[in-house]
Amino acid sequence: MSIMDFQIDGLVAAPFTPMKDNGELNLSLIEPYVDYLVSQGVLNTFVCGSTGEGASLSMAERKMLAEKWVSAGKGKLTNVIVHVGGCSITDSQELARHAESIGAQAIASLPTCVFRPTTGKQVAEQLQIIGAAAPSLPLFYYHLPDMSKVNIMVEDLFDALETVKVPTFRGCKYTDYNMMDFGRCLVHSNGKYIMMYGRDEQGLCALVMGATSFVGSTFNYSGKVYNRMRAAYDNGDLEAARKEQNMSQHFLRILVQYGMDIGLNKYIMSMVSGMDFGPPRPPMQRRSEEELAKIKAKLQACGFFEAVK
């Protein structure tokens, strides 16, 4: 299959990484996790990304985790995309090679952190190096400026790719708010590239701009909300679609008021799924039972638990 044949539609969960109380990975949860996602109509995953605390894991852990997702997803998930970004581009190459060797469907990478590229051209040069390590895998740029502190316009990257050739480049996970840049990318090269939108709280805006694929953390436990939103949108019922987005904004507002981060989000996942995802790894913060009880009460009051059922 050629790189450009890779397609993706609908929701892609950015899965949490289950951990034991002692901080070790709890890989035994991945299999039931796959089934849980499928039961919500979520058929793709983006693993070892920010939601998965990829940056907090060692190289060995990232490889084990990717392997487990690929094997557990076989026959159940459509795509497992492995995130390979980090501080060191040398490490990213190694993770890319590994992802190819285990049969992942695609890879993605943040720009290097600590030392950061500052232009679209520099990002393209990084992607060229990483992509070369996995020549058979579609490669996505992971745009997350709030965290990566790399504030390029992705359109500038797409322009740069016309001279800096990255044969495996397939598109972008766009986790930002600039819907003009996102819109421009969707029409760039006549829609040649795939734009997966990554801000769950305003996915409806991406839909109306023309998006058809979405990567997010809240799809892990509220995939049904977003799948209903998508179905309503596809049926031309914008009011119904907006109602689902409003629900998502309502519960996210509550989480934001309690200092939403991937640590808290992970606890919500445990609460909703009934599976124990364990604590986050530092620097993400553990939460007290007391705080979680308060959050639960607020989520109940807004109808969250009915909505995600």
Q: Which residues are catalytic?
A: 142, 173
With beta carbons less than 8 A apart as the criterion, state whether 213 and 196 touch. yes
Q: Is 78 annotated as belonging to a binding site?
A: no
Element (H, E) at 204: helix 203-209
Binding site for a copy of itself (CB under 8 A): 50, 53, 55-59, 61, 86-91, 94, 110-117, 122, 125-126, 129, 147-149, 155, 177-180, 183-184, 187, 199, 201-202, 204-205, 207-210, 236, 238, 241-242, 245-246, 249-250, 252-253, 262, 281-285
Q: Report residue 276: phi and psi, to 5°.
A: -95, 105
Closer Cβ to a copy of itself, 56 or 79, answer by number: 56
Helix 89-102 and helix 59-73, axial crossing angle in degrees, nearest 10? 30
3 state SS of 261? coil
Instruction: Retrieve residue 6's tokens.
Output: 């890779």
Q: Considering beta carbons, is residue 40 or 50 the nearer one to a copy of itself?
A: 50
Closest distance between a copy of itself and the C-beta of residue 59, in Å?
Answer: 7
Establish whether 212 is an annotated binding residue: no
Nearest distance, CB of residue 138 and a copy of itself, angstroms: 22
Q: Kindly tell me which of 6 and 140 has the beta carbon lying closer to a copy of itself.
A: 140
Q: Smallest gap, in angstroms, from Cβ of residue 241 to a copy of itself?
A: 8
Distances (CA, A) of 150 to 99, 166, 232: 25, 20, 35
| CB 60 to a copy of itself: min, Å | 9
141: part of which helix (H) or strand (E)?
Answer: strand 139-143
For a copy of itself, give the closer residue by CB, 116 or 298: 116
**Taking CA 102 as the corner, what is the angle to CA 168 and CA 211, rounded to the nearest 5 degrees?**
45
Residues 45 and 81: beta-carbon distance below 8 Å: yes
Q: Say how far apart CA 106 and CA 3 lie, in whole Å.
A: 9
Annotated binding site: 51, 215
Annotated binding site for pyruvate: 51, 215
